[in-house]
Amino acid sequence: MAAAKKTVETVESIQKEINKLTIKLEKAKAKQLSDTTKQLTKLTKTSDKAAAKLKTAKNKLQAVSKSKNKTSAVKKQIQSAKKAVTAATTEAKMAKEAVKVTKETITQLKAVAKADAAAKKAVAAFQKDIDKKSTQSNKKKAAKKPTKTANKTSAKAKKAKRTISKKTASKKSVTKKRGSRAKAA
């Protein structure tokens, strides 16, 4: 009997641990989503800065290219402007890609959160259904099984009936004996 009780306690303690870990997991997922959203905000700002830098570099290249003087100094300025445009273009592309990846991650995290919420809702409904069936079966058992006091009173009533029937049986046998004597005489 003690082993069975210990097993129940172990199951209950494990269930408590599972509930604690589930709560911890939900908090971690929520934090991950908020951190990723913050990261997206930062990356968007970085992307905007890179786009502005690219625009500035292109404008500078255009301005230098319009120069009618094609001296060696102007040619160096054009080359450095082209390098700046190339670097800014690469930086802008990388920033846009990072934003895109972060948005996809956020979409995935939200989908997982939505699926978790649906699963949690289904489990809660299932648990509620099990609890309902359990209480119904307990009510049926209680209705079928009379209470202990009712058992005691019914036992007393049966005992009283037996004693009454014994008394009447003994009276009948006495009257039969007397009746047989009267017939004999």
| Amino acid letter, residue 156 | K
Residue 88 vs residues 20, 75, 101: alpha-carbon distances, Å: 49, 20, 20
Burial class (CB in 10 A: 0-12, 13-18, 19+), 84: middle
Instruction: Give CA torsion, residues 119, 120, 122, 125, to 10 deg.
Output: 180
Domain boundaries, the chain: 7-113
Residue 173 vs residues 1, 93, 170, 180, 184: alpha-carbon distances, Å: 54, 116, 5, 11, 17
Q: What is the pLDDT along the chain (185 residues), one digit of tens a residue?
A: 455 666 667 888 998 999 999 999 999 999 999 999 999 999 999 999 999 999 999 999 888 888 877 788 888 888 999 999 999 999 999 999 999 999 999 999 999 999 999 998 999 999 999 988 888 888 777 777 655 555 555 666 666 667 666 655 555 555 555 555 555 54
Q: Residue 1 in 3-state DSSP?
A: coil
The tokens describing 21, both together, are 């870990």
The tokens describing 53, both together, are 């830098």
Please give the model's pTM, rounded to 2 decimal places.
0.59
